[in-house]
Protein backbone atom coordinates (compact mmCIF):
# COMPACT_ATOMS: atom_id res chain seq x y z
CA UNK A 1 0.00 0.00 0.00
CA UNK A 2 1.32 3.42 -0.97
CA UNK A 3 2.13 5.71 1.98
CA UNK A 4 0.83 8.79 0.15
CA UNK A 5 -2.62 8.89 -1.45
CA UNK A 6 -3.53 11.60 -3.94
CA UNK A 7 -6.88 12.82 -5.27
CA UNK A 8 -7.51 15.43 -7.95
CA UNK A 9 -11.05 16.76 -8.50
CA UNK A 10 -12.91 20.03 -8.98
CA UNK A 11 -9.78 22.13 -9.00
CA UNK A 12 -8.58 20.72 -5.67
CA UNK A 13 -5.80 18.23 -4.92
CA UNK A 14 -5.81 16.22 -1.69
CA UNK A 15 -2.57 14.62 -0.48
CA UNK A 16 -2.95 12.14 2.39
CA UNK A 17 0.00 10.71 4.32
CA UNK A 18 -1.22 7.18 4.97
CA UNK A 19 0.97 5.56 7.63
CA UNK A 20 -1.43 5.57 10.60
CA UNK A 21 0.47 2.70 12.24
CA UNK A 22 3.44 5.10 12.53
CA UNK A 23 1.31 8.19 13.24
CA UNK A 24 2.08 9.25 9.67
CA UNK A 25 5.76 9.77 10.46
CA UNK A 26 7.77 10.74 7.38
CA UNK A 27 10.37 8.35 6.02
CA UNK A 28 12.26 8.57 2.75
CA UNK A 29 9.46 6.93 0.76
CA UNK A 30 6.87 9.39 2.05
CA UNK A 31 9.15 12.33 1.21
CA UNK A 32 9.77 11.07 -2.31
CA UNK A 33 6.10 10.40 -2.97
CA UNK A 34 5.02 13.78 -1.61
CA UNK A 35 7.61 15.49 -3.79
CA UNK A 36 6.33 13.62 -6.84
CA UNK A 37 2.74 14.50 -5.93
CA UNK A 38 3.69 18.17 -5.59
CA UNK A 39 5.35 18.08 -9.01
CA UNK A 40 2.10 16.78 -10.53
CA UNK A 41 0.15 19.41 -8.57
CA UNK A 42 2.33 22.15 -10.07
CA UNK A 43 1.98 20.79 -13.62
CA UNK A 44 -1.79 20.40 -13.74
CA UNK A 45 -3.62 23.43 -15.11
CA UNK A 46 -6.96 22.08 -13.85
CA UNK A 47 -5.87 22.16 -10.20
CA UNK A 48 -5.82 25.47 -8.32
CA UNK A 49 -5.20 24.53 -4.69
CA UNK A 50 -4.02 21.57 -2.62
CA UNK A 51 -4.82 20.08 0.77
CA UNK A 52 -2.28 18.13 2.83
CA UNK A 53 -3.63 15.84 5.55
CA UNK A 54 -2.93 12.60 7.41
CA UNK A 55 -4.88 9.36 7.76
CA UNK A 56 -6.23 7.80 10.94
CA UNK A 57 -6.85 10.90 13.05
CA UNK A 58 -3.26 12.19 13.12
CA UNK A 59 -1.74 14.79 10.82
CA UNK A 60 1.94 13.81 11.14
CA UNK A 61 4.27 12.90 14.00
CA UNK A 62 7.32 14.23 12.15
CA UNK A 63 10.44 12.37 11.16
CA UNK A 64 10.42 8.58 11.43
CA UNK A 65 13.06 8.25 14.18
CA UNK A 66 13.50 4.52 13.69
CA UNK A 67 14.32 5.13 10.03
CA UNK A 68 16.67 7.94 11.10
CA UNK A 69 18.68 5.58 13.30
CA UNK A 70 19.13 3.37 10.20
CA UNK A 71 20.59 6.32 8.33
CA UNK A 72 17.46 7.06 6.31
CA UNK A 73 16.74 10.75 5.73
CA UNK A 74 13.12 11.88 5.18
CA UNK A 75 13.96 14.59 2.68
CA UNK A 76 14.35 15.21 -1.03
CA UNK A 77 17.21 17.19 -2.57
CA UNK A 78 16.02 20.70 -3.35
CA UNK A 79 12.66 20.14 -1.65
CA UNK A 80 13.69 19.48 1.95
CA UNK A 81 11.82 17.57 4.65
CA UNK A 82 8.81 15.65 3.39
CA UNK A 83 9.50 16.80 -0.16
CA UNK A 84 7.84 20.13 0.68
CA UNK A 85 9.29 22.06 3.62
CA UNK A 86 12.09 24.06 2.01
CA UNK A 87 10.37 24.50 -1.36
CA UNK A 88 6.57 24.71 -0.95
CA UNK A 89 4.48 24.62 -4.14
CA UNK A 90 3.78 27.86 -6.00
CA UNK A 91 0.06 27.10 -5.75
CA UNK A 92 -1.64 27.57 -2.37
CA UNK A 93 -1.67 24.64 0.04
CA UNK A 94 -3.97 24.02 3.03
CA UNK A 95 -2.96 21.79 5.94
CA UNK A 96 -5.96 19.87 7.34
CA UNK A 97 -4.87 18.88 10.84
CA UNK A 98 -6.41 16.24 13.06
CA UNK A 99 -4.71 15.05 16.24
CA UNK A 100 -1.01 15.77 16.43
CA UNK A 101 1.16 17.90 14.14
CA UNK A 102 4.51 17.35 15.81
CA UNK A 103 8.12 18.16 14.93
CA UNK A 104 8.49 17.81 11.16
CA UNK A 105 4.72 17.33 11.02
CA UNK A 106 4.23 20.77 12.52
CA UNK A 107 6.79 22.10 10.06
CA UNK A 108 4.85 20.57 7.16
CA UNK A 109 1.75 22.37 8.44
CA UNK A 110 3.73 25.60 8.71
CA UNK A 111 4.93 25.20 5.12
CA UNK A 112 1.28 25.35 4.03
CA UNK A 113 -0.38 28.71 3.39
CA UNK A 114 -3.53 28.03 5.40
CA UNK A 115 -4.35 25.69 8.29
CA UNK A 116 -7.71 24.15 9.14
CA UNK A 117 -7.56 22.19 12.39
CA UNK A 118 -9.86 20.12 14.57
CA UNK A 119 -10.50 21.83 17.90
CA UNK A 120 -8.67 19.05 19.75
CA UNK A 121 -5.58 19.10 17.50
CA UNK A 122 -2.16 20.03 18.87
CA UNK A 123 0.96 21.53 17.33
CA UNK A 124 4.51 21.25 18.64
CA UNK A 125 8.23 21.36 17.91
CA UNK A 126 9.60 18.83 20.44
CA UNK A 127 12.97 18.36 18.70
CA UNK A 128 14.90 19.80 21.65
CA UNK A 129 13.54 16.95 23.78
CA UNK A 130 15.32 14.52 21.40
CA UNK A 131 18.58 16.43 21.18
CA UNK A 132 17.61 17.81 17.76
CA UNK A 133 16.42 21.14 16.39
CA UNK A 134 13.53 22.01 14.07
CA UNK A 135 15.49 22.38 10.83
CA UNK A 136 12.63 22.06 8.33
CA UNK A 137 11.54 25.68 8.53
CA UNK A 138 9.75 25.67 11.87
CA UNK A 139 12.23 27.97 13.61
CA UNK A 140 12.10 30.34 10.64
CA UNK A 141 8.35 30.40 10.06
CA UNK A 142 6.91 30.26 13.57
CA UNK A 143 8.07 33.75 14.70
CA UNK A 144 6.63 35.24 11.50
CA UNK A 145 3.18 34.07 12.55
CA UNK A 146 3.18 34.07 16.36
CA UNK A 147 4.41 36.69 18.84
CA UNK A 148 8.16 36.38 19.40
CA UNK A 149 7.91 35.25 23.03
CA UNK A 150 5.28 32.61 22.28
CA UNK A 151 7.30 31.29 19.34
CA UNK A 152 10.36 31.09 21.60
CA UNK A 153 8.41 29.25 24.31
CA UNK A 154 7.19 26.63 21.83
CA UNK A 155 10.63 26.18 20.28
CA UNK A 156 12.69 26.12 23.50
CA UNK A 157 10.41 24.04 25.73
CA UNK A 158 9.29 21.59 23.05
CA UNK A 159 5.83 21.72 24.64
CA UNK A 160 2.77 21.61 22.36
CA UNK A 161 0.19 24.31 21.75
CA UNK A 162 -3.51 23.55 21.40
CA UNK A 163 -5.38 24.29 18.19
CA UNK A 164 -7.60 26.70 20.11
CA UNK A 165 -4.62 28.76 21.28
CA UNK A 166 -3.04 28.52 17.83
CA UNK A 167 -6.28 29.87 16.37
CA UNK A 168 -6.34 32.70 18.90
CA UNK A 169 -2.92 33.88 17.69
CA UNK A 170 -3.59 33.39 13.97
CA UNK A 171 -1.65 30.19 13.34
CA UNK A 172 -4.87 28.34 12.49
CA UNK A 173 -7.38 29.85 10.06
CA UNK A 174 -10.39 27.71 10.93
CA UNK A 175 -11.33 25.41 13.80
CA UNK A 176 -13.67 22.48 13.20
CA UNK A 177 -15.14 19.78 15.43
CA UNK A 178 -12.97 16.69 15.88
CA UNK A 179 -12.96 14.68 12.67
CA UNK A 180 -14.01 17.65 10.57
CA UNK A 181 -10.68 19.19 9.52
CA UNK A 182 -10.62 17.71 6.03
CA UNK A 183 -14.22 18.71 5.35
CA UNK A 184 -13.42 22.20 6.60
CA UNK A 185 -10.34 22.34 4.37
CA UNK A 186 -12.37 21.18 1.37
CA UNK A 187 -14.88 23.95 2.00
CA UNK A 188 -12.14 26.58 2.17
CA UNK A 189 -10.40 25.09 -0.89
CA UNK A 190 -13.63 25.20 -2.88
CA UNK A 191 -13.98 28.91 -2.15
CA UNK A 192 -10.45 29.50 -3.42
CA UNK A 193 -10.74 27.13 -6.40
CA UNK A 194 -13.75 29.13 -7.57
CA UNK A 195 -11.41 32.04 -8.29
CA UNK A 196 -9.16 32.56 -11.31
CA UNK A 197 -6.37 29.96 -11.13
CA UNK A 198 -3.65 32.25 -12.52
CA UNK A 199 -4.70 35.02 -10.14
CA UNK A 200 -4.74 32.64 -7.18
CA UNK A 201 -1.29 31.30 -7.99
CA UNK A 202 0.21 34.75 -8.54
CA UNK A 203 -1.42 36.12 -5.39
CA UNK A 204 -0.01 33.28 -3.28
CA UNK A 205 3.47 33.88 -4.69
CA UNK A 206 3.44 37.61 -3.94
CA UNK A 207 2.02 37.23 -0.43
CA UNK A 208 4.50 34.49 0.45
CA UNK A 209 7.36 36.50 -1.06
CA UNK A 210 6.36 39.50 1.05
CA UNK A 211 7.07 37.62 4.27
CA UNK A 212 10.03 35.68 2.81
CA UNK A 213 8.59 32.24 3.52
CA UNK A 214 10.67 30.62 0.82
CA UNK A 215 13.86 32.68 1.15
CA UNK A 216 16.70 30.25 0.27
CA UNK A 217 19.20 32.47 2.12
CA UNK A 218 17.44 31.70 5.41
CA UNK A 219 17.69 27.96 4.82
CA UNK A 220 21.33 28.30 3.84
CA UNK A 221 22.05 30.37 6.93
CA UNK A 222 20.42 27.90 9.31
CA UNK A 223 22.28 24.90 7.86
CA UNK A 224 25.60 26.05 9.29
CA UNK A 225 24.03 26.26 12.75
CA UNK A 226 21.86 23.13 12.74
CA UNK A 227 23.78 20.60 10.63
CA UNK A 228 26.19 19.77 13.51
CA UNK A 229 23.18 18.93 15.69
CA UNK A 230 22.01 16.24 13.29
CA UNK A 231 25.36 14.42 13.24
CA UNK A 232 25.80 14.61 17.02
CA UNK A 233 25.88 11.70 19.47
CA UNK A 234 22.89 13.24 21.24
CA UNK A 235 20.81 13.09 18.05
CA UNK A 236 21.35 9.34 17.81
CA UNK A 237 20.78 8.95 21.55
CA UNK A 238 17.49 10.84 21.40
CA UNK A 239 16.21 8.63 18.59
CA UNK A 240 17.38 5.43 20.30
CA UNK A 241 15.79 6.46 23.60
CA UNK A 242 12.50 7.13 21.84
CA UNK A 243 12.57 3.75 20.09
CA UNK A 244 13.52 2.00 23.35
CA UNK A 245 10.90 3.91 25.38
CA UNK A 246 13.36 5.28 27.93
CA UNK A 247 14.68 8.64 29.05
CA UNK A 248 17.58 9.89 26.92
CA UNK A 249 21.05 10.32 28.41
CA UNK A 250 22.45 13.54 26.95
CA UNK A 251 26.19 14.15 26.64
CA UNK A 252 26.17 17.50 24.87
CA UNK A 253 28.22 16.04 22.01
Catalytic residue IDs: 107, 127
What 3 state SS string does the chain have?
CCCEEEEEECCEEEEEECCHHHCCCECHHHHHHHHHHHHHHHHCCCCCEEEEEECCCCCECCECHHHHHCCCCCEECCCEECCCCCCCCCCCEEEEECCEEECHHHHHHHHCCEEEEECCCEEECHHHHHCCCCCCCHHHHHHHHCCHHHHHHHHHHCCCEEHHHHHHCCCCCEEECCCCHHHHHHHHHHHHHCCCHHHHHHHHHHHHHHCCCCCHHHHHHHHHHHHHHHCCHHHHHHHHHHHCCCCCCCCCC
- Angstrom distance (rounded) from CA 54 to CA 72: 21
Backbone phi and psi for residue 174, each to the nearest 5 degrees, phi listed first: -140, 135
Amino acid sequence: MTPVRTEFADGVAVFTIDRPEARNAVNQEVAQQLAAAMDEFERRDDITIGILTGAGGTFCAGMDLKAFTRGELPSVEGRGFGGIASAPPSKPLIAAVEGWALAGGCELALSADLIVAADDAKFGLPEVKRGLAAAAGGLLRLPKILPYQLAMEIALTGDPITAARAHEFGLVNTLTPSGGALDGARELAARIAANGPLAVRATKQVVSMAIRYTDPDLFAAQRGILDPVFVSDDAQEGARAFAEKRAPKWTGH
